[in-house]
């Protein structure tokens, strides 16, 4: 009897071949998410630094560049540094997760395909075999029996469900 916590192992078919394989299970970080997150964080830090330094008294210098120009220029540095920090964080987390990886043994099951069915008589008792059912049963009757269902369908569209 099986417990609810542990599912039963499927019994392989008689013509199935099983072979054990060593697999590694671990959680790896997505590098693109870390790099993009670092870029966004770098941009936000750049905006914050420009906001905080806009009001600094620079003596007799004239300010010719506005806020948007300064953010645009310094975001080149901020976004690049943020992407670099995000990539380094992803590499460090990848190394940590590879140390915590679990090595397990998994079973690989290779099953031979089922033999094809042949229409005709069965061997032994002489009775004829029923035709094999198709995977997608289609109504081949060309006569329309329900005019209400066909009126709502779009002409030329056979894939619409009946309403």
Position 100 scores a pLDDT of 82
Report the distance separating Cα 57 and Cα 103, nearest Å. Answer: 62
Report the distance separating Cα 25 and Cα 101, nearest Å. Answer: 6
Q: Closest Cα to residue 17, out of 83, 109, 94? A: 109
Q: Which residues of the chain have pLDDT under 70?
A: 1-17, 114-115, 118, 120, 122-163
Position 87 scores a pLDDT of 95
Report the distance separating Cα 79 and Cα 83, nearest Å. Answer: 6
Position 79 scores a pLDDT of 95
Position 5 scores a pLDDT of 66
Position 108 scores a pLDDT of 79
Helix (H, G, I), strand (E, B) or coil at 121: strand
Helix ranges (H only) for the chain are 31-53, 67-99, 147-151
Report the distance separating Cα 114 and Cα 13, nearest Å. Answer: 10
Contact 44, 71 (CB under 8 A): no
Position 20 scores a pLDDT of 79
For 34, counting Cβ atoms within 10 Å of its Cβ (0-12 exposed, 13-18 middle, 19+ buried), the class is: buried
């Amino acid at each position: 009897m099986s417990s609810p916590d542990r599912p039963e192992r499927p019994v392989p078919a008689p013509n199935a071949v099983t072979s054990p394989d060593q697999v590694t299970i671990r959680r790896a970080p997505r590098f693109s998410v870390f790099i993009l997150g670092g870029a966004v964080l770098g941009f936000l830090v750049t905006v914050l630094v420009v906001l905080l330094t806009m009001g600094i008294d620079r003596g007799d210098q004239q300010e010719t560049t506005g806020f948007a120009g300064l953010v645009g220029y310094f975001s080149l540095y901020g976004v690049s540094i943020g992407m670099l920090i995000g990539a380094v964080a992803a590499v460090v987390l990848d190394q940590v997760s590879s140390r915590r990886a679990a090595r397990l043994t998994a079973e690989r099951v290779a099953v031979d395909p089922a033999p094809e069915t042949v229409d005709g008589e069965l061997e032994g008792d002489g009775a004829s075999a029923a035709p094999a059912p198709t995977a997608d049963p289609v109504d081949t009757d060309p006569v329309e029996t329900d005019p209400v269902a066909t009126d709502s369908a779009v002409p030329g569209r056979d894939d619409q469900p009946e309403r």
